[in-house]
Amino acid sequence: MRTYPVLENQRRRYAGYLGGDLSFNAAVVYRIEGDVIAPRLVRAIRTVFDRHIGLRTRLIADDPAELRQTAVDTPCEVLLEEVDAELADHHLWEARVDELVDMPFDLLAGPVGRGFVVRLRDGVVFGVAVDHACADGYSIGLLTREIAAVYRGEPLAPVVGDPFACAERQRDFLASAEADAGRAHWAGVFQDRPLAEALARPVAPFACGDRGNAALAAVTLSAADLRSACARHGLTPYLLTVSAVVIALDAISEEGDVTVLSPYVGRSSADELDVIAWLANIVPLRARFDRDAALGEALAAIKAGVYTALDEARLPFNLMQQLPGLELPGWHPWAFVDCQEQASLSFGGVEATEVDIVSSSARPGLWAVSTVSPDGFTLRLRVPGSPEAVDHLTRIAAVARAVLTAAVGGADAPVATFRRLPSGVS
């Protein structure tokens, strides 16, 4: 049996696994209304899963000093189930889909991927779930696009890279002078006030699988408004998302510290772009801006802070935690920001629509995920469902909405004005 080094994100995931976080799955669920051949869709999922060795792995923890990984021969499970209901009957199939999404994987046995197709009277619900030990959200997008292509009968190009080679390259990088410089950078960024100090306030626990235990607030822009705001301030939708959340957090709790996700940091070469692995890095961001400055100046300062953070993001998050005298948050950051492009998936004449799955995404802390689609821009804010957290979410969403509205309309008022909550929000 040949073994390989692990990625640093896998090491961090295994630490959470040992601590009782058995199910931390990256997942996506789609619904297709109309004529879709369920067994053909199952075969397409199996074909795609078999292409990617990253899904057929397990961790080896025999040596406490060195966590390793290896490939397994067992194929990933792909289930086909029948439910006598229609797509509109959410209450009849949602609970089972939640269970399939959140069901934990055995990291020491493998494999760590699962697919499923639930056939209904007027269509299907299908999805994939993979433990974060082997894949990130970027990987999920790769899988779903390939599944749609295989279902349509289109050939796929060979997979060029593999996660084991990525782990070897990462290990070499972490022993380099470049990594030493990165460690010095992060120590300097947080030396005045450790990020953990800002995030020390308690958060309510989240019971996985309890759909009603997560509060959700949404802020929307039309496609035209999104283009206007981005063009006016020289921002991408991702930077607009980060800016709205940072300013809202600063207004509510006087702390603008967040963590952002960089899905491309680990994919630094052409042979890593189609690798299924957890290469995305969670990057702590301390965005400093003058509260008396105009909105445009604050947006520029936040943009500069994000770019600087992502420039240094190749240094894995858990190594930042090990810097002398530096205490960063552990597994669940208090505020997590991501932006996703949502494109339609075609299955031979019918389109798949993504299903919003609260249970697998809403974990302790604030999760801010924006979606950009042809229909516009939606910023979804999620928190665990305690009364205090729901009230906090309402306030944060109100300020984020005011920031986005000002960015669209060209208002350049001082950022301090956003500290005054809009009418009707206490």
Amino acid in the structure at residue 367: W
Cα(297)–Cα(302) distance, rounded to whole angstroms?
Answer: 9
Q: Quick one: which of 282, 53, 316 has its CA closest to 163?
A: 53
Nearest 5°: phi and psi at 333?
Answer: -70, 160
Per-residue pLDDT, 331 = 42
C-alpha dihedral over 56, 330, 176, 264, to 10 degrees? 60
**Do 320 and 260 touch, CB atoms closer than 8 A?**
no
**Do 32 and 352 touch, CB atoms closer than 8 A?**
yes
pLDDT tens column, 335-369 = 778 888 877 799 988 999 888 765 555 456 677 88
The kind and range of the H/E element at 124 are strand 123-131
Cα(123)–Cα(37) distance, rounded to whole angstroms?
Answer: 9
* Band of pLDDT at residue 244, cut at 50, 70 and 90: very high
Q: Is the pLDDT of residue 188 over 90?
A: no
Q: How many CB atoms lie within 10 A of CB 376?
A: 15
The kind and range of the H/E element at 352 are strand 351-354
Cα(360)–Cα(203) distance, rounded to whole angstroms?
Answer: 17
Instruction: Over range 192-219, report the average pLDDT.
Output: 57
Asked which of 55-69, 90-104, 197-211, 404-418 is least confident by mean pLDDT, the reply is 197-211
Average per-residue pLDDT for the chain: 84
Q: Is 117 helix (H, G, I), strand (E, B) or coil?
A: strand
Domain ranges of the chain: 4-164, 192-419
Per-residue pLDDT, 209 = 39
Q: Quick one: which of 408, 405, 241 has its CA closest to 417?
A: 405
* Listed ranges 40-54, 297-311, 391-405; the one with the highest mean pLDDT: 40-54
Nearest 5°: phi and psi at 219?
Answer: -125, 130
Amino acid in the structure at residue 5: P
Instruction: Over range 174-186, report the average pLDDT.
Output: 89
Fold of 192-419: Chloramphenicol Acetyltransferase (3.30.559)
Per-residue pLDDT, 422 = 59
Per-residue pLDDT, 20 = 79
Would you say the CATH fold of 192-419 matches that of 4-164? yes
Maximum pairwise Cα distance, the chain? 65
The kind and range of the H/E element at 281 are strand 281-286
Structure tokens at 260: 């952002």
**Do 257 and 286 touch, CB atoms closer than 8 A?**
yes
Per-residue pLDDT, 16 = 80
Q: Is the pLDDT of residue 308 over 60?
A: yes
- What lies within 8 Å, CB to CB, of 212 at 6+ separation is 385
Q: Is the pLDDT of residue 221 over 90?
A: yes
Q: Is 102 helix (H, G, I), strand (E, B) or coil?
A: helix
Nearest 5°: phi and psi at 255?
Answer: -135, 120
- State the CATH class of domain 4-164: alpha beta
Cα(150)–Cα(84) distance, rounded to whole angstroms?
Answer: 27
Cα(336)–Cα(338) distance, rounded to whole angstroms?
Answer: 7
Cα(404)–Cα(70) distance, rounded to whole angstroms?
Answer: 46
Per-residue pLDDT, 318 = 73
Nearest 5°: phi and psi at 159?
Answer: -75, 130
Q: Is the pLDDT of residue 424 over 70?
A: no
Q: Higher pLDDT residue, 254 or 332? A: 254
**Do 264 and 249 touch, CB atoms closer than 8 A?**
no
Cis peptide before 104 (omega within 30 of 0): no
- What lies within 8 Å, CB to CB, of 53 at 6+ separation is 71, 162, 163, 164
**Do 416 and 293 touch, CB atoms closer than 8 A?**
no
Per-residue pLDDT, 117 = 98
Q: Is the pLDDT of residue 417 over 90?
A: no
pLDDT tens column, 248-277 = 888 876 666 677 777 666 677 787 888 999
